[in-house]
Amino acid sequence: MKRDYYEVLGVSRTSTKDEIKKAYRKLALQYHPDKNPDNKDAEEHFKEVNEAYEVLSNDDKRRRYDQLGHAGVGSSAASSGGGHYGGGPGGAADFSDIFSAFNDMFGGGRGRSGGAPFGFEEVFGGSGGGGRRGRASAGIPGTDLKIRLKLTLEEIAKGVEKTLKIKKQVACKECNGTGSKSGATDNCQTCHGTGEVRQASKTMFGQFVNITACPTCGGEGRVIKDRCTSCYGEGIKQGEVTVKVTVPAGVQDGNYLTLRGQGNAGPRGGAPGDLIVVIEEKPHDLFIREGDDVIYNLAISFPDLVLGTKIEVPTLDGSVKLTIPPSTQPETRLRIAGHGIGHLRGSSRGDQYVKVNVFVPKDLSHQDKEMLKEMKKSSTISPAGHHDNNSKSFFEKARDIFS
């Protein structure tokens, strides 16, 4: 009896494509024949995992499998017809999977967002990207790389250019990214140069033919002849690059910028993946962001609230003088125009609001206390009904009347 594919990958039936991919990569890495030489059990697991992934990663097949089970995808013979995995040591497709898995661990491997123009282009939005590109004509496409970029509110307010050092897969210099010392290639023995593997399977619903990319050559149809010793024939190596990122004003936590072609280099000349820069907003010590406005909480003395004053308050652009008008009520928001966050679309900026509150001291001198007691005798210092300390308050009187 075949195991349920979701069970094989250890994911739920409602899991997303990304979750399935992550689970697959983890398991493929774990059971990879290169890591488990002469281990029949691991080999079986590896086949099972690949088979499950082949179905669940494909929308069509997954739908059929969800409706009809194993019969729906004609997979009953697929496992016995397999056997291409882990052909030679470091078989091409398997290696790329491992690299992808490593990238995932370091935060790479996000779905590409389709349709964005080449170069620095912002694709704003909280959700992940769209569909994957088709296979490049040469090599295996590089994986996307995801990094987090922490920004201060000051940087977000006006936009910022950042120079980042990024560790990623780069083309091997020794072999120019081809993976071969001489550049010579041979026809792939597994697929005989077609780049495809066909697996026919008979089921109670009829015959199904599964066509998949050849696991040995990754669909290229060619395998390299004399392996480059520097990159072990992969054409890529771990390297470090400097990337300039221009972040426009007004970005928010979770927004991301997609830098086309700046992700991991593809094995053996494959198109590079994208670099996805996810914005993280550092909390600010003084300001609270509200959309494109910022709030600053200010506590001033009771006399200042009543009499009015001028006071220096910090803004994202240095301090400015703010006029507190006489008889300002607590919780009043005073606006300092144009000192908020720059609007993502457009050149103007939001505002800063200063929320004014009364400062209530905790430690008072005897003299201060006497002064405050004196102040209480005034007929205008308390709300109506509370001015006489010795008589009943307005609420007490009301209670007496209605009880």
Q: Which of 152, 154, 150 is nearest to 314 (CA)?
A: 154
| Minimum CB distance to Zn ion, residue 104 (Å) | 23
Binding piece for Zn ion, criterion CB under 5 A, among 152-160, 164-172, 306-314, 384-392 = 164-172
User: How would you classify residue 74: left for phi > 0, otherwise alpha for psi between -120 and 50, otherwise beta?
Assistant: left
Chain centre distance of CA 374: 61
231 binds Zn ion (CB under 5 A): yes
The first and second tokens of residue 349, run together, are: 């900026």
Find the binder of Zn ion among 20, 55, 56, 188 (CB under 5 A).
Answer: 188
Q: Are 86 and 33 in contact (CB under 8 A)?
A: yes
| Minimum CB distance to Zn ion, residue 173 (Å) | 8
Containing 344, the helix (H) or strand (E) segment is none
Q: Which is nearer to Zn ion, 2 or 181 (CB)?
A: 181
Residue 229: count other Cβ atoms within 10 Å of its Cβ: 10
| Minimum CB distance to Zn ion, residue 99 (Å) | 14
Residue 194: count other Cβ atoms within 10 Å of its Cβ: 15
Q: Which is nearer to Zn ion, 217 or 305 (CB)?
A: 217
- Residue 215, classified by CB atoms within 10 Å of its CB into exposed (0-12), middle (13-18) or buried (19+), is buried
| Minimum CB distance to Zn ion, residue 199 (Å) | 14
CA dihedral sign, ordered 268, 269, 271, 274: positive
Q: Which is nearer to Zn ion, 73 or 188 (CB)?
A: 188
* Three-class DSSP category at 233: coil
174 binds Zn ion (CB under 5 A): yes
| Minimum CB distance to Zn ion, residue 289 (Å) | 48
Q: Which is nearer to Zn ion, 9 or 175 (CB)?
A: 175
Region 191-230 residues binding Zn ion, contact defined as CB under 5 A:
191, 214, 216-217, 228, 230
255 binds Zn ion (CB under 5 A): no
- Total residues binding Zn ion (CB under 5 A): 12
The first and second tokens of residue 26, run together, are: 């983890």
Q: Which is nearer to Zn ion, 220 or 292 (CB)?
A: 220
| Minimum CB distance to Zn ion, residue 187 (Å) | 8
User: How would you classify residue 187: left for phi > 0, otherwise alpha for psi between -120 and 50, otherwise beta?
Assistant: beta
Binding piece for Zn ion, criterion CB under 5 A, among 20-28, 169-177, 284-292, 326-334 = 169-177
Question: Looking at this protein, which amino acid is placed at residue 162?
Answer: K
What does DSSP assign to residue 382? S
Chain centre distance of CA 43: 34
What does DSSP assign to residue 139? S
Binding piece for Zn ion, criterion CB under 5 A, among 1-9, 25-33, 167-175, 283-291 = 167-175
Q: Which is nearer to Zn ion, 191 or 356 (CB)?
A: 191
Q: Which is nearer to Zn ion, 147 or 217 (CB)?
A: 217
Binding piece for Zn ion, criterion CB under 5 A, among 32-40, 54-62, 143-151, 165-173 = 165-173
Q: Which of 23, 84, 96, 87 is nearest to 57 (CA)?
A: 23
Give the residues lining the site for Zn ion (CB under 5 A): 172, 174-175, 188, 190-191, 214, 216-217, 228, 230-231
